[in-house]
Amino acid sequence: MYKSTAGQSSLFENPSNFIGAKLDPENRWVKMAAIIPWDLLDEKYNEQFRNKNAGNLAKVARMALGSHIIKEKFVLSDEETVEHIKESPYLQWLIGMPEFTGKAPFDASTMTWFRKRLTPEILAEVNGYIIGNKK
């Protein structure tokens, strides 16, 4: 089951809203978060769920893509990706955490689900928006 967050106002519009850490708006992760079309991603990610009203609630699209970006950027294992996220307020901001916590936001095995749901087509479309090929 997936609960879409598309179209909702978000505390992630301003890094000063992040609880537990004063984030630098010039930080690379804050800047990256600002250019990703999160609503588009959420819409496409939501389409990956067959039965929207059954099962456990899935992690949000922002967490899935943000974790994928971190994993690829640093060439990490799933376990190391979770550890990096756990240690950094900037990475937690990128994946949509409302506040800094020293706890893992998800189990490393969840990365497998993220990869299944973030299809190459979704990643290509989001990349197209980021690099300016689509409006």
Say if 43 falls within a structural domain. yes
State both tokens at 40: 């588009």
Count: domains in the chain = 1
Say if 14 falls within a structural domain. no
- Residue 119, domain extent: 28-131
Name which residue leads in pLDDT, 129 or 61.
Answer: 61
Quick one: pLDDT at residue 11?
A: 46
Say if 56 falls within a structural domain. yes
Tally the residues of the chain.
135
Say if 71 falls within a structural domain. yes
Encode 27-63: b = buried (16+ Cβ within 10 Å), e = exposed. eebbebbeebebebbbebbbebbeeeeeeeebbbbbb
Torsion of CA 47, 51, 56, 57, to 10 degrees: 40
Say if 41 falls within a structural domain. yes
100-125 residue pLDDT tens: 899 999 999 999 999 999 999 999 99
Q: Which of 94, 57, 96, 87 is nearest to 72 (CA)?
A: 94
